[in-house]
Structure 1
Amino acid sequence: MIENGSATPALLRRLNAARVLDALRSESALTVVELLQRSGLSRATLDAVLDDLSRVGLIGPAQDPTGVARGRGRPQRRLRFRGESGHVLGIDIGAHRLEAVVADLAGTVVAQRTASLTPELSRARRIRTARKLAADALGEAGATVPRAVGIGSPGIVDPATGTVRYCNAMTQWSKFALADTLANALGAPAVVENDANLAAIGEHWHGVAQDHADVVYLMAGDRVGSGILIGGELVRGTSGGTGEMAFLGLLRHGDPDEPLEQLVTEIVDAAIDELIAQKAVRTDAVRVLMRDLEPLHGVQVPDLERWLGAVQAGRSGARREFRTALVRYCRVGLVVATLISPELLVIGGRAAEAADVVVPTLRTVLDRLVGPGVRPPRVVASELGSWGVALGAVRIALDRAERTLLDALD
């Protein structure tokens, strides 16, 4: 809240403009009278704001949707947000995959591109690939220079500078000024955020978390991490490391005499029994759990198809490996859910493709074990697929673009 006398005229101008933009974005068009009602501004202040926003091209006239004249006198002035007046770019730079999404200023996606990478690729080649993919996506959208760029990266990111402070997933990526590098290359202001954080933002914007304020996004696959929203706001911590999973090794070896461990194991055994009884072991969900979530649970299965047959046949060694993988996954979910106590726990990354196995099992674990007086979170799988991080990058690029445009009003 701004205290009396602490708001400068320039700040008030930007705040008033943001209020009007929020109103216009919520509808296809509004009359000046409707904007007065929604914004709470005086007519003189609103007129000044509308002049400012028209000058920078963010708003424009809108036709009466009925096309019918309304009696004598001057027709009411109708205005709309001009989403087509610019574009933003969201880029997800991962170890194995690079994705670029272009959206207009209304957030409508107009172009998407993707490329395959390897963790060993040099930093220079990774950046060249990102630049080319961005240019291709912008070209497809009919744009040249975006208003802003949002970038997702694994590792610990300094949100103030856009520097990747530490990342062991990609070559030469630690201590890398990623925001400055791509801002210079693309000619637009750039903001960098951790990939799991952006996935959480993407889910909150366009995914399964839209109607939830307290959300944990649990990413597992070739990337492992979590993004946390409290009250709809991202939690980064002092150095941007909130949500990192450095503790995973501590969860790999439970105490079999611990009652909590026994209960988790009992629930997992029941889930495995049901899969075997339904002859549902040879499914893509189980394949993804064992093959693609290995960075999280640490269980290696050299011959997956043979292993699946051994589990279905009830062989003890294969079943024990299945149990270990699923128990370890549930331990991580239990730790995150009890520590944060969110409304919603979103299973994302490649783990979303194992949802048929991990979601019901984790739901049962949390329902029974979160603790007295604590409401367990709802557990759901992401529906954004691999594009969640890039969509989150688009969202932060839109926020940055608006700040830059509103700053131009001064």
Structure 2
Amino acid sequence: MGRLTGGDPSLLRRINSAVVLQALRAADSPTLTDLVQVTGLSRPTVEGVVEGLIETGLVVEAAAGEGATRRQGRPARRFRFRTEAGHLLGIEIGPHRVAALLSDLGGRVLDTAQRPVEERAPADERLERVRAVVADLLRRTGVPRDSLRAVGVAGPGIVEADGTVRLSTALPGWTGFPLGERLRRSFRCPVLVENDANAAAVAEHWQGAATGSDDIVFVLAGLSPGAGSLIGGRLHRGFGGAAGEIGALHLLGREATPEKLLSTTGEPLHPLDEAQVAAVFAAARDGDAQAREAVDRFIRRLVHDVAALVLALDPELVVIGGWAAGLAGVLEPLRRELARYCLRPPQVALSQLGEAAVATGALRLALDHVEGELFAVESTVTGRRRTAAR
């Protein structure tokens, strides 16, 4: 293999292109002079890069007067990054619904769509529901399928690097399902598959309750709670992708199963679904003593699960999402109990994105991928990615 040097023309062109494109995206219709000042590159280099980016369709000359102040003489040419040059999808695959968000290359959501799905629907039927939601969304917005640059997908379970679901107790037939491979047949672009709680953590850090914190735990609190965590602003998946699977603690025999935990009769709660649990919560709010005890047990379980992560990771912030985010008064018990269990109690906040968190996080993962492609330089010698400064 030939040695790649700092003077290699191909590498230099890629670096210059990434730097100029990043400057274009960050600025409001800059001129060539603006780009020269921001990037530190020579004017001929910037001109050449901009013309090349125009040919690819990623950059266009701005309309007259766009981003300009009125001056005498001929106005300088201005340019802008074409966020409309491609599109991204963020998809949530859940027990009871499939939802999708469509955005431009700037991450601006253009439209959303969702459809219900039966909890016991087999994997193939659930996948067909995904395809139907996407087809409906693209048809309504008039976006052609080949305009998609990346698709992010999130759902319950432990996900392998290739998008195979290694383990999922929430969806029938999902364990071992090659989700990434199956979805790649439907799209001519990269498909990234992630755990739902991990995606929600990314979403809250991007646009929700955790925008000002880089060390966070997001708890997707349902019947079998899961958690996603960011350490130093980076998603922590663990060695095998199973980090944050706190819902597995009851499998160790530490406490009762969710069916018993939320029962108000002493008998396991069947069917164990959102409607049943919502009824228990509503009864507790109305003063039913047994329902209050059930909700108290739920909160105690949640506190113990969250405390285990807090002690291990020492986050600045814990964000509560899922069903628990809708529980009246859930924050104070959590704060009080975490103060008892944890050496340094974190801040606790409710999710700001609600049921949109998972799909929003999936969209962000797709955006991250495209940004890496557009603004990064891959060294063929080391195999390491160098990203233009943001």
TM-score category of the 2 structures, normalised to the smaller one: 0.7 to 0.9
Q: Which residue of 2 aligns with 1:312?
A: 287
Q: Mapping of 1:112-127 within 5 angstroms?
A: 112-127=112-127
- Distance of aligned partners of 1:211 and 1:49 in 2 relative to their CA distance in 1, 3 Å threshold: farther
Distance 2:132 2:221 in 1: 28
Q: Which residue of 2 aligns with 1:153?
A: 155
Amino acid across the alignment from 1:383: Q
- Distance of aligned partners of 1:64 and 1:56 in 2 relative to their CA distance in 1, 3 Å threshold: same
Q: Does the 8 Å CA contact 1:85/1:105 hold for their aligned counterparts?
A: yes
Q: Does the 8 Å CA contact 2:150/2:367 hold for their aligned counterparts?
A: yes
Residue 66 of structure 1 deviates from its aligned partner by 6.7
1:397 aligns with 2:366: yes
Distance 1:164 1:296 in 2: 25
Matched pairs, number? 360
Residue 383 of structure 1 deviates from its aligned partner by 1.3
Residue 342 of structure 1 deviates from its aligned partner by 0.9
Residue 309 of structure 1 deviates from its aligned partner by 6.7
- Does the residue aligned with 2:186 lie in a helix, a strand or coil? helix
- Distance of aligned partners of 1:81 and 1:307 in 2 relative to their CA distance in 1, 3 Å threshold: closer
Q: TM-score, normalised by structure 1?
A: 0.78
- Does the residue aligned with 1:185 lie in a helix, a strand or coil? coil
1:193 aligns with 2:225: no
Q: Which residue of 1 aligns with 2:347?
A: 378
- Distance of aligned partners of 1:188 and 1:164 in 2 relative to their CA distance in 1, 3 Å threshold: same
Amino acid across the alignment from 1:136: D
Q: Is the deviation greater in 390-399 or in 24-33? A: 24-33
Q: Which residue of 2 aligns with 1:54?
A: 54
- Distance of aligned partners of 1:133 and 1:204 in 2 relative to their CA distance in 1, 3 Å threshold: same
- Distance of aligned partners of 1:348 and 1:11 in 2 relative to their CA distance in 1, 3 Å threshold: farther
Q: Which residue of 2 aligns with 1:238?
A: 239
Q: What's the CA shift string for 1:308-345, capped at 9, x where partnerless?
A: 379837x5x65544432222221122222221111111
- Distance of aligned partners of 1:169 and 1:368 in 2 relative to their CA distance in 1, 3 Å threshold: closer
1:357 aligns with 2:332: no
Q: Is the deviation greater in 138-147 or in 397-406? A: 397-406
Residue 174 of structure 1 deviates from its aligned partner by 1.9
Q: What's the CA shift string for 1:279-324, capped at 9, x where partnerless?
A: xxxxxxxxxxxxxxx94993223685699379837x5x65544432
Distance 2:33 2:259 in 1: 56
Q: Which residue of 2 aligns with 1:339?
A: 312
Amino acid across the alignment from 1:367: A
Residue 216 of structure 1 deviates from its aligned partner by 0.9
Q: Which residue of 2 aligns with 1:139?
A: 139
Q: Which runs of 5+ in 1 are unaligned?
A: 255-293
Amino acid across the alignment from 2:95: A
1:300 aligns with 2:266: no
Amino acid across the alignment from 2:157: G
Residue 43 of structure 1 deviates from its aligned partner by 3.1
Distance 2:112 2:363 in 1: 11
Distance 2:172 2:150 in 1: 26
Q: Does the 8 Å CA contact 1:214/1:232 hold for their aligned counterparts?
A: yes
Distance 2:284 2:232 in 1: 46
Distance 1:170 1:7 in 2: 53
Q: Does the 8 Å CA contact 1:31/1:79 hold for their aligned counterparts?
A: yes
Q: Does the 8 Å CA contact 1:223/1:349 hold for their aligned counterparts?
A: no
Residue 114 of structure 1 deviates from its aligned partner by 0.7
- Does the residue aligned with 1:128 lie in a helix, a strand or coil? helix
Residue 213 of structure 1 deviates from its aligned partner by 0.8
Amino acid across the alignment from 2:154: G
Q: Mapping of 1:275-286 within 5 angstroms?
A: none
Distance 1:296 1:64 in 2: 64
Residue 202 of structure 1 deviates from its aligned partner by 1.0
- Distance of aligned partners of 1:368 and 1:400 in 2 relative to their CA distance in 1, 3 Å threshold: same
Amino acid across the alignment from 1:388: A
Q: Which runs of 5+ in 2 are unaligned?
A: 270-275, 381-390
Distance 1:173 1:305 in 2: 28
- Distance of aligned partners of 1:196 and 1:20 in 2 relative to their CA distance in 1, 3 Å threshold: farther
Residue 10 of structure 1 deviates from its aligned partner by 4.5
Q: Does the 8 Å CA contact 1:196/1:227 hold for their aligned counterparts?
A: yes
Q: TM-score, normalised by structure 2?
A: 0.82
Residue 8 of structure 1 deviates from its aligned partner by 6.2
Residue 105 of structure 1 deviates from its aligned partner by 0.9
- Does the residue aligned with 1:90 lie in a helix, a strand or coil? strand
- Distance of aligned partners of 1:8 and 1:390 in 2 relative to their CA distance in 1, 3 Å threshold: farther
- Does the residue aligned with 2:88 lie in a helix, a strand or coil? strand
- Distance of aligned partners of 1:112 and 1:319 in 2 relative to their CA distance in 1, 3 Å threshold: closer
Sequence identity percentage = 38
Q: Does the 8 Å CA contact 1:216/1:226 hold for their aligned counterparts?
A: yes
Please give the root-mean-square deviation of Cα atoms over the aligned residues, in Å.
3.1
